[in-house]
Amino acid sequence: MNAETEIERAIGRAYQSGIMWVIHGKGTGKLREGVHEFLSHHPQVDRFELAGEKDGGGGVTIAYLK
């Protein structure tokens, strides 16, 4: 299963709460870039941002759902 499939499933599960945290790690940034690209085109995602430093910083993306 790839990351996009996992994120799609997670959006379905998180839809009612309106927020979803994606833990992609810091690493090289390739996975983060892919996650952001996917989220930027997803019709159920209103916006997203990196978490604050105390919540994982560049290793975590918070997506706000419509």
**pLDDT tens-place string over residues 7-59:** 999 998 898 899 999 999 999 999 999 999 999 999 999 999 999 999 999 99
Model pTM score: 0.89
| C-alpha to C-alpha distance for 10 and 17, rounded to whole angstroms | 11
Measured CA distances, 43 to 24, 47, 64 (Å): 21, 10, 11
Beta strand pairing status for 19-23 and 60-65? antiparallel
Which domains can be identified in the chain, with CATH numbers? 3-65 (3.30.1370.110)
